């Protein structure tokens, strides 16, 4: 009985983990925008000229690591930065390309190597998106990190937000279900006239690098349980996606003051407490 319960719990945990993944998977890796990481699998084969088993294993591991790093370069090229830009488009600049390759060379191994029946070895290497953000996010144009904190919550501001009515508002959820919005590293929230409601001037560069500009969730229920906004989030329904990559989110003009009021009272934008439901 206990074993059956354990197996049920394990399967449920795996399914929950899969449901939280937001990104792209490939034969040899993945881009996880929610977990903010890029992974690649490298394969190493034992060279013909090895002397003993120990040397063979070390050589295969080195080959597998180099293969994983090559895979990471290809996969990172496919990361979507903004509604108009991907990494491959941004790395035409030799300085940026060199810096990104430096980040990839600093990738770390995830888990133990897998020793396969054909004597090959598989290893998984990972690059955190924070490292990529450090390179790609420009140094200026962001909210001053020394700007005054949000004002103390007031009853009028809470009512004006027209969302949660009990306690402090803990974050902002933009429900984009059914709109075809795609995840990216630096999405924006726009009004119906194309004005920026949430962009670099609303958050600090430090938080954008460390936590990501926005989180993602599959479904509104999952979004409300996300640690980024969990508690008492303000929920707004988006009206459309924007940009060639369908990354930016358009909200109704009537919702702008709800967001600004919540931000004025609770500072939800400064530290990127924004989550997009796909």
**Which residues are CB-contacts of 81 (< 8 A; sequence separation ≥ 6)?**
87, 90, 136, 184, 185, 186
Tokens representing 209?
A: 């690098």
Q: What is the mean pLDDT of residues 231-255?
A: 97
Residue 158 burial class via C-beta count within 10 angstroms: exposed 0-12, middle 13-18, buried 19 and up: buried
How large is the C-alpha radius of gyration of the chain?
Answer: 22
pLDDT surpassing 50 at residue 4? no
Task: Report pLDDT for 92.
Answer: 82
Percent of residues, the chain, with pLDDT higher than 90: 73
Assess whether pLDDT exceeds 60 at residue 156: no
Specify the pLDDT at position 256. Answer: 97
Distance separating alpha carbons of residues 127 and 125, to the nearest angstrom: 7
Quick one: pLDDT at residue 174? Answer: 98
Of 274, 271, 182, 195, give the one whose Cα is nearest residue 233: 274
pLDDT tens for 44-96 read: 987 777 667 667 788 889 999 999 999 999 999 999 999 999 999 888 888 99
pLDDT bucket at 18, cuts 50 / 70 / 90: low
Model pLDDT, residue 12: 37
Greater confidence (18 vs 180) lies with: 180
CA–CA gap between residue 59 and residue 260 (Å, rounded): 57
**Distance (Å) of CA 111 to CA 41, 71, 108, 135:** 11, 17, 10, 26
Residue 103 vs residues 31, 135, 240: alpha-carbon distances, Å = 15, 9, 35
Closest among 72, 68, 76 to 113, alpha carbons compared: 68
* More confident position, 235 or 57: 235
| Model pLDDT, residue 51 | 64
User: In whole numbers, what is the pLDDT of the chain averaged over residues?
Assistant: 86
- How does residue 109 score in pLDDT terms, banded at 50, 70 and 90? very high
**What pLDDT, on a 0 to 100 scale, did the predictor assign at position 163?**
41
Q: Is the dihedral of CA 236, 233, 267, 216 positive or negative?
A: negative
> Could you give the dihedral angle defined by the CA atoms of residues 172, 188, 186 and 20, in that order, rounded to the nearest 10 degrees?
40
Least confident of 87-101, 155-169, 188-202: 155-169
């Amino acid at each position: 009985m206990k074993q059956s319960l354990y197996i049920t719990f394990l399967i449920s945990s795996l399914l929950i983990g899969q449901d939280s993944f937001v990104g792209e998977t490939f034969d040899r890796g993945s881009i996880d925008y929610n977990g903010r990481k890029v992974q690649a699998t490298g394969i190493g084969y034992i060279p013909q000229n090895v002397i003993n088993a120990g040397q063979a294993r070390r050589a295969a591991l080195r080959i597998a690591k180099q293969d994983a790093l090559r895979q990471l370069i290809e996969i990172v090229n496919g990361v979507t930065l903004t509604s108009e830009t991907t990494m491959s488009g941004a790395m035409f600049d030799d300085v940026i390309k060199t810096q990104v390759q430096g980040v990839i060379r600093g990738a770390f191994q995830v888990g133990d190597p897998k020793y396969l029946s054909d004597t090959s070895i598989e290893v998984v290497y990972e690059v955190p998106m924070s490292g990529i953000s450090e390179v790609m996010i420009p140094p200026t144009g962001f909210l001053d990190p020394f700007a005054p904190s949000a004002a103390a919550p007031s009853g009028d501001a809470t009512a004006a937000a027209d969302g949660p009515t009990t306690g402090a508002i803990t974050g902002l959820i933009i429900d984009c279900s059914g709109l075809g919005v795609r995840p990216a590293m630096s999405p924006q929230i726009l009004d119906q006239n194309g004005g920026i409601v949430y962009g670099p001037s609303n958050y600090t560069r430090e938080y954008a690098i460390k936590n990501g500009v926005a989180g993602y969730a599959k479904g509104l229920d999952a979004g409300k349980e996300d640690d980024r906004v969990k508690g008492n989030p303000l929920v707004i329904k988006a009206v459309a996606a924007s940009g060639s990559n369908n990354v930016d989110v358009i909200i109704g003009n009537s919702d702008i003051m709800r967001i600004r009021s919540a931000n004025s009272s609770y500072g939800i934008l400064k530290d990127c407490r924004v989550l997009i439901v796909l």
